[in-house]
RNA sequence: GGGCGUGUGGCCUAGUCUGGAUAGGGCAUCGGGUUCCUAACCCGAGGGUCGGGGGUUCGAAUCCCCCCACGCCCGCCA
């Protein structure tokens, strides 16, 4: 049986794989013998999960039967007859047009528990790869605190990175800090004046509450306060807008006042500390200004200038006729530089991507749906300069407010991540106090922080990225049912059993025969699915499937917990159930890691 | 007007990429469960034209076409 690094054969890191492969090969062999062409490419994809209680896997014969010109029922019967049972199968039946495969449960239990216990924290991981992956996510302008809408990017990106790591890739998460351009110029412009010289409408709008100062407030909130008022003000004041434009030019010719970087770093620091509360971290930061300073943006502009599709606009702006790249007609003219020669975001992004391509084999960008066109523009621009590599885009939909429309600080309809987290933690605090009297205030606070953050992160993560999410306080703060705290609670429960048994680390001796109740075998089957889930998400980017899996695992464990006593059981059931609990706890813990939720030993 | 995405019981959601067996869950509602390992749990009940129409197919929530609704984007913002 496998040891800790037993994935060299590509088989032993996933308990379900040997069975699936056995079915696939034999099915392909038999159908091939009938002359069915599709069998050549393997039938694993067509192997589906049978309805629970019927079998483990099913194969629908209709398609092959039609191709072969025989009735599906007959084909099914023929395929099931004398299907070799060596290895992981115990029974193969023909049910109408379906061939149903029943896994050898005791073998599966044996393989799964051994594998989980032996691999520990590495259970769920796939074979290591050397292909370096960059996941760029969040990259929000440092102009104010995160609202809940923007944090979806970070949570999706961070989870994808965690899953890709688990799948075996060396992953770097990267934040592209936009310290150039008009938005960051606006912040510096306003803060470079003493507050009493601010335009009255900005000063009034941005006035902090009584007693709040930079020393009592996070820097992102403090410096971000005037942002939306400045934005409005500039629309009505051309002279001021002119000053901001001038500052934008200075930034791009590396004449940024020291204050500029100072504020950007302070604001970014505040933003990052909020993200850290929900488990989002970055390995690397690239400041946009560095791409200008090292000349790579200028080089890119030069390449566009020489392009046969370059257009010099009347005012001196450089544009690109990108009609050949399948962009919508209305968007097929891409502006490369402004009239004054300064670059635009898409142009700088080209330089950034060339740089990423030089560092990574795979480049993944997590982008909001408003960047859909930007993604296509970027592809077109890369093609235009003869670059053959492309980033992979993971595009997610917005979090909208119940009244409709997406969250927006500028439009004054946004919920700050910090406020949501504070509320979540406060509620979690109350929940902990309700059920634990034995903990110190410090412990309660620590648990509450993790539970609150877990609820928020899971809430964002549970929905498929391409679905819009309507933000509702009550739902985001749910600690019950399909929620982060439910998964964390299940982990704590499993740990509690082991702690009381005095068996918190291997060995966990067990007898497969002792694990034969439906709640036990169902649980093993779910535990065994973790590696497959990791692979699936790494391949598709469907990060919400980790949340779905986590819930399913927690649910199966709680059913087991409810129905079957562990500590009071007789041997050998007791030891065997302890092994099952240990394996479940490990799988739950590893899943929580991939989700970016904290493991809690008690709650 | 064009592009991208979404539409599944009162609310939220899985399944859609790769068509297959009675469409899985959660919240809410109603009814049960704690001398026992944490009730943030478990069990049961009711509740579904899978936005609408057409098509392909032995078979469609899933693929194709049309329509409707909602969100976002559509050259010198990012």
Q: Let me know how many helices (H) and strands (E) chain A has, helices first.
A: 23, 14
A435-CA/B45-C1' distance, Å: 30
Q: Which two tokens stand for residue A326?
A: 């399948």
Domain count of the fold of chain A: 3
Whichever domain contains A468, its CATH number is 1.10.730.10
The rounded distance, in Å, linking the Cα atoms of A45 and A244 is 57
Q: Looking up tokens 């006729």, which residue turns up?
A: A321
The rounded distance, in Å, linking the Cα atoms of A492 and A562 is 15
**Which one of A230, A255, A280 terminates a domain?**
A255
A133-CA/B62-C1' distance, Å: 32
Q: How far is CA A181 from CA A232, A289, A292, A299, in A?
A: 17, 10, 12, 19
Instruction: Confirm if A88 and A18 have CB atoms less than 8 A apart.
Output: yes
Which residue approaches B12 most closely, CA to C1'?
A475
Same domain assignment for residues A435 and A526: yes
Closest nucleotide over all strands to A405 (CA to C1'): B71
Q: Which two tokens stand for residue A458?
A: 């899971």
Same domain assignment for residues A200 and A99: no
Angle, helices A518-527 vs A105-119, to 10°: value is: 50
Same domain assignment for residues A471 and A562: yes
The rounded distance, in Å, linking the Cα atoms of A580 and A116 is 10
The rounded distance, in Å, linking the Cα atoms of A162 and A542 is 13
* In-domain check, residue A268: no
What digits encode the pLDDT tens for the residues A412-449? 788 999 999 999 999 999 999 998 988 999 999 999 99
Same domain assignment for residues A77 and A186: no
Which residue approaches B70 most closely, CA to C1'?
A404
Residue A11: what pLDDT? 55
The rounded distance, in Å, linking the Cα atoms of A192 and A504 is 58
Q: Which two tokens stand for residue A543?
A: 């990060």
**Which one of A255, A272, A290 terminates a domain?**
A255
Same domain assignment for residues A559 and A430: yes
A394-CA/B12-C1' distance, Å: 23
B strand bases under 7 Å from protein CB: 1-7, 12-18, 20-22, 25-28, 33, 36-43, 58-59, 70-78
Closest nucleotide over all strands to A369 (CA to C1'): B72
The rounded distance, in Å, linking the Cα atoms of A491 and A374 is 42
Which residue approaches B1 most closely, CA to C1'?
A330
Q: Give bridge partners of residue A368 from the DSSP assignment.
A: A396
Closest nucleotide over all strands to A484 (CA to C1'): B40
* In-domain check, residue A139: no
Which residue approaches B37 most closely, CA to C1'?
A497
Question: What size, in residues, is chain A?
Answer: 603
A66-CA/B65-C1' distance, Å: 27
Same domain assignment for residues A557 and A422: yes
A48-CA/B12-C1' distance, Å: 27
Same domain assignment for residues A78 and A194: no
The rounded distance, in Å, linking the Cα atoms of A52 and A521 is 12
Closest nucleotide over all strands to A248 (CA to C1'): B77
A71-CA/B57-C1' distance, Å: 16
Whichever domain contains A54, its CATH number is 3.30.1360.70
Regions in chain A scoring below 50 on pLDDT: 1-6, 10
**DSSP annotation of A483:** S
**Which one of A219, A239, A255 terminates a domain?**
A255
The complex's ipTM? Answer: 0.96
Closest nucleotide over all strands to A329 (CA to C1'): B2
The rounded distance, in Å, linking the Cα atoms of A405 and A412 is 12
A37-CA/B45-C1' distance, Å: 49
Closest nucleotide over all strands to A483 (CA to C1'): B26
Same domain assignment for residues A89 and A190: no
Residue A403: what pLDDT? 76
What digits encode the pLDDT tens for the residues A314-355? 899 999 999 888 888 888 899 999 998 889 999 999 999 999
* In-domain check, residue A318: no
What is the distance, to the nearest Å, from the Cα of residue A326 to the centroid of all Cα atoms in its chain? Answer: 30
* In-domain check, residue A411: no
Closest nucleotide over all strands to A431 (CA to C1'): B40
Residue A9: what pLDDT? 52
* In-domain check, residue A244: yes
* In-domain check, residue A350: no
Same domain assignment for residues A80 and A220: no
* In-domain check, residue A97: yes
| Parent domain of A548 | 417-595
* In-domain check, residue A204: yes
Same domain assignment for residues A73 and A196: no
Same domain assignment for residues A203 and A74: no
A32-CA/B47-C1' distance, Å: 47
Same domain assignment for residues A478 and A591: yes
């Amino acid at each position: 049986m496998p040891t800790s690094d037993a994935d060299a054969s590509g088989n032993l890191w996933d308990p379900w794989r040997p069975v699936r492969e056995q079915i696939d090969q034999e099915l392909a062999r038999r159908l091939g013998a009938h002359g069915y062409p599709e069998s050549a490419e393997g039938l694993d994809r067509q192997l589906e999960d049978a309805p629970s209680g019927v079998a483990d896997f099913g194969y629908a014969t209709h398609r092959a039967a039609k191709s072969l010109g025989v009735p599906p029922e007959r084909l099914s019967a023929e395929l099931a007859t004398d299907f070799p049972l060596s290895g992981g199968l115990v029974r193969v039946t023909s049910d109408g047009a379906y061939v149903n495969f029943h896994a050898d449960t005791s073998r599966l239990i044996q393989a799964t528990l051994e594998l989980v216990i032996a691999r520990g924290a590495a259970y769920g991981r796939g074979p290591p790869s050397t292909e370096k992956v960059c996941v760029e996510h969040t990259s929000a302008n440092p102009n104010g605190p995160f609202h809940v809408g923007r944090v979806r990017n970070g949570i999706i990106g961070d989870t994808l990175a965690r899953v890709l790591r688990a799948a075996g890739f060396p992953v770097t998460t990267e934040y592209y800090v936009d310290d150039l351009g008009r938005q960051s110029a606006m912040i510096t412009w306003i803060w470079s004046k003493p507050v009493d010289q601010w335009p009255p409408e900005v000063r009034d709008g941005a006035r902090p509450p009584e007693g709040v100062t930079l020393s009592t407030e996070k820097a992102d909130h403090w410096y971000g306060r005037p942002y939306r008022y400045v934005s409005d003000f500039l629309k009505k004041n051309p002279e001021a807008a002119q000053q901001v434009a001038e500052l934008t030019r200075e930034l791009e010719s590396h004449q940024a006042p020291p204050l500029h970087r100072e504020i950007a770093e302070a604001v970014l620091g505040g933003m990052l500390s909020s993200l850290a509360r929900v488990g989002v971290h970055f390995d690397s930061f690239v400041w946009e200004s560095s791409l200008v300073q090292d000349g790579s943006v200028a080089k890119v502009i030069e390449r566009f200038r020489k392009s046969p599709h370059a257009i010099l606009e009347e005012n001196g702006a450089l544009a690109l006729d990108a009609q050949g790249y399948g962009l919508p007609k209305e968007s097929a003219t891409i502006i490369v530089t402004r009239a004054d020669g300064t670059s635009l975001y898409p142009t700088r992004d080209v330089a950034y991507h060339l740089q990423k391509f030089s560092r990574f084999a795979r480049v993944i960008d997590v982008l909001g749906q408003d960047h859909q066109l930007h993604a296509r523009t970027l592809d077109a621009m890369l093609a235009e300069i003869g670059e053959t590599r492309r980033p992979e885009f993971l595009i997610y939909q917005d979090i909208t407010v119940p009244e409709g429309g997406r969250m927006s600080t500028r439009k004054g309809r946004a919920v700050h991540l910090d406020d949501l987290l504070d509320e979540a933690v406060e509620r979690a605090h109350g929940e902990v106090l309700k059920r634990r009297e034995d903990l110190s205030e410090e412990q309660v606070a620590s648990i509450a922080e993790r539970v609150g953050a877990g609820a928020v992160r899971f809430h964002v993560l549970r929905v498929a990225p391409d679905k819009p999410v309507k933000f509702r306080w009550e739902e985001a703060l749910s600690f019950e049912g399909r929620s982060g705290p439910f998964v964390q609670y299940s982990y704590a429960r499993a740990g509690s059993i082991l702690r009381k048994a005095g068996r918190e680390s291997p060995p966990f001796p067990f007898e497969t025969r002792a694990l034969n109740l439906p709640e036990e075998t169902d649980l093993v089957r779910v535990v065994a699915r973790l590696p497959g889930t990791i692979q699936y998400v790494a391949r598709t980017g469907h990060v919400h499937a980790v949340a779905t899996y986590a819930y399913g695992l927690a649910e199966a464990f709680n059913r087991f917990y409810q129905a079957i006593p562990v500590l009071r059981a007789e041997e050998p059931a007791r030891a065997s159930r302890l092994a099952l609990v240990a394996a479940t706890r490990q799988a739950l813990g590893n899943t929580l890691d991939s989700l970016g939720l904290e493991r809690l030993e008690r709650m």
